[in-house]
Amino acid sequence: MRTVANRYLLAALALLGAFLIVPPIHAQPAKADAKKWGVKDLQIASAAQGGGFHALATPLAPIWEKDVGVPVVVSTSRGSNENVALLERGEVTLGMVTGSSQAEAWNGEGSYKKPYRNGRLMFAFYPSYAFFFTRADSPINSVKDLKGKRIGLGPGAVVWDYYMGRILSAHGLEKGKDYTAVYANFTDLATQIGDGTLDAGSALETTPAAYQLGEERGVKALAMDPAALNKAVADYWYYFKGKIKPASMPKGYKGGDYQTVGWMGPYMIAKKDLPDDLVYALTKSFHQHIKELNKSVNLYRWLVDDEKIATMPMRNVEWHPGAVKYWKEVRLWQGK
C-alpha cells in the first residue's frame, strides 16, 4: 500500500475547492449523450474539504463524465444530512450519505420529522471507523482525558454530534458541560490542532487531513475505553465495534490495532426518477474502475479487497432499480 504518496494525493484532492467542474472531453458527444439520458449534467453532493466524501467523489467524476458523456459537477456541503435534503428537494441528482443518515431519513426517524424518500441507494464505499487524535507531543492520551478540552468534531453539529458526539457521550463526556465543541472543515481543524489552538479532533480512517498532519509532524490517537465502546453499540443501532490496523493509522501512531466503533457508509444515492439505464451505466462504470480509482485514492481499498461491500444492505432502504439490475448481472447483489 503506497500510503505516503496516497495521503499527499488525498490532501491535494481535498483542497481542490468548493466546486470541481470537469469539462466534457468531447463537447458534441456530450450533447448527444445528454439528450440520450434526458439530463444536461449530473451533480454529486459530497461534503467538506479535507473529508473522505469529497476525496472519493473528485476522481470518480471525470471517469463518469467520460463513460456516460455528460458533465459531472462535484460540490461540497455540510455532509450527509444536508445531502439527503438536497436530493429530496431535487437540487442535486446524486449524493453521498452515511448509511445511518439515509436509513433514518427513509424512515422519518431521529432528526427527520417525516420520511425522505427521493433518494435510492446505488452502492457503498466502505465501513467508517472513528478515532480521536491530537499532536504527538500533547499530554493527552485517551478520550477520557478530553474533559475540559476544546475538540474539533467536524464540519457541522447535525452530522458530527450524531457520530462523534455520541462516542464522547458514551465516555461520560457531554458537550457544553465537559468539553467545548468546535466545527470547521477537517483541513482547518487539523491545522488548528497542529498550531496548538485546538486540543484534539475527531477523524475517520478515511479523513485525509488527519493523515496529512501525521506526515507533517506526527499525531497521537487517543485510546477509547472498552466499556464505552460497548455502551455506544448498545445505545445506538448503527454502531458496531471494529479496529483499525496500525499501518492504516496516521504517522506517529504507536500501538497495536486501534479499538473503536464504526458504521456503514458512505453510500452513493441517486434521485429515484433518474433514468434506470443511466444509473445502470454509472454503477457499471464505478464497478469497472474500482482498481483504477484505488491507484490514485486509497479510499477504494476496501472494495478492491471485497467487492461485495458495494451492495451491503441498509435496513429497509430501497435501492435504485438501475443499480440493482447491474449488481444482479455481476452476481454481487446481496439484497432480497
pLDDT band, residue 100 (cuts 50/70/90): confident
Query: By the 8 A CB rule, do 117 and 269 touch?
Result: no
Cα angle value 22/304/1 (rounded, 5°): 90
CA 268/CA 63 separation, integer angstroms: 15
Query: By the 8 A CB rule, do 303 and 126 touch?
Result: yes
For the entire predicted model, the pTM comes to 0.73
In angstroms, the first-to-last Cα distance of the chain is 35
Kind and range of the H or E element at 101?
helix 99-107
Residue 8 has pLDDT above 80, yes or no: no
Average pLDDT on 301-316 reads 92
Query: By the 8 A CB rule, do 76 and 48 touch?
Result: yes
Query: By the 8 A CB rule, do 143 and 228 touch?
Result: yes
Q: What is the set of domains in the chain, with CATH numbers?
A: 3-126+265-329 (3.40.190.10), 128-262 (3.40.190.10)
Average pLDDT on 277-302 reads 95
CA 204/CA 210 separation, integer angstroms: 8
Residue 33 has pLDDT above 80, yes or no: no
- Give the HSE-up count for residue 162: Cα atoms under 13 Å, Cβ half-sphere: 20
Residue 5, pLDDT score: 39
For residue 9, give the C-alpha cell.
494525493
Residue 61 has pLDDT above 60, yes or no: yes
Which residues are within 8 A (CB) of 92 and not within 5 positions of it... i.e. 6 or more apart? 43, 44, 45, 75, 83, 86, 271
Residue 318, pLDDT score: 96
